[in-house]
A and B are shown apart, each in its own frame.
Chain A
Amino acid sequence: MGPVQLFEFASRQAEWLASRQAVIAGNVAHADTPNYKAKDVVPFARVLGRTQLAMGATHASHLQGGASASPEVEVKRDRAWEISHSGNSVRLEQELIKTGEVNRGMSLNTSIVQTFHRMLLTSLRSQ
């Protein structure tokens, strides 16, 4: 059942990439907000090693404890390139590099899924 597991991995990575994009968007939007500290999500390798269980909800207003999004962590002071006088640690260049990384990751992810999907279809057709 190799390929099926691969699809699961791929969808988890796509989820992680999407959450990372959301965090980067937040950083860029706050590029000029005083005292804003740049954030990043935990690396995918660590997300993959942890099983996340969704909490049961018995009421519509119960919050899901972030079962889908990976938890955000603050970027440490030494990871940020520069901290401006207003206490803001967002560097636009750094953020744009990160969004390039996300884009590349998503492109790799979707082409792998596409290839495996084609493979499955080929094996179905040969019957």
Chain B
Amino acid sequence: MDPLMASMKVASSGLEAQSARLRIVAENLANSQSTGTTAGADPYARKTISFERVLDRASGSELVKVGKVGRDRVPFRVEHRPGHPAADASGNVKMPNVNPLVELTDMREANRTYEANLQIIRQTRQLVSMTIDLLRS
């Protein structure tokens, strides 16, 4: 496979991975207040994402793919809210272990890497059009 086309493919796999990461961030933020429904039940546990490499046999280059989506094992926050459906006998409710600050930092980083991948695609397209322009002279 042509190296320029291969770099397009690799960069688009990067875009895909980063958008999956953004989706996880969105899920975490959306569920930052999702508690359980029965007394003493566990709330939403924050999701974590990791990436791994995978060899693309057609081009011989390493693509990136989403690895395991895991759960954060940080202990849940506990708030005192008697009367809440998920409150235990002493009136404490377990809240999700989502920290908005961490999520926003993660989002920013995903955004940055996404932009870098876009820039690679843009540059590669420029290289291709420079080569095609040779035929035009």
Q: Are B130 and A110 in contact (CB under 8 A)?
A: yes
Number of A interface residues in the complex (CB < 8 A): 34
For residue B17, which residues in chain A have a CB less than 8 angstroms away from its CB?
29, 32
CB of B116, distance to nearest CB on chain A (Å): 5
Q: How many A-B residue pairs have CB under 8 A?
A: 106
A103 located at the interface, meaning its Cβ lies under 8 Å from any Cβ of chain B in the complex: yes
> How does the 8 Å CB contact mask read for B20-33 relative to A, with 1 for contact and 0 for none?
01000000000000
For chain B, give the interface size range: 35 or more
CB within 8 Å of A: which B4-28 residues: 4, 6-8, 10-11, 13-14, 17-18, 21
Q: Are B127 and A106 in contact (CB under 8 A)?
A: yes
Q: Which residues of B contact A (CB under 8 A)?
A: 2-4, 6-8, 10-11, 13-14, 17-18, 21, 50-53, 59-64, 109, 112-113, 116-117, 119-120, 123-124, 126-127, 130-131, 133-134, 137
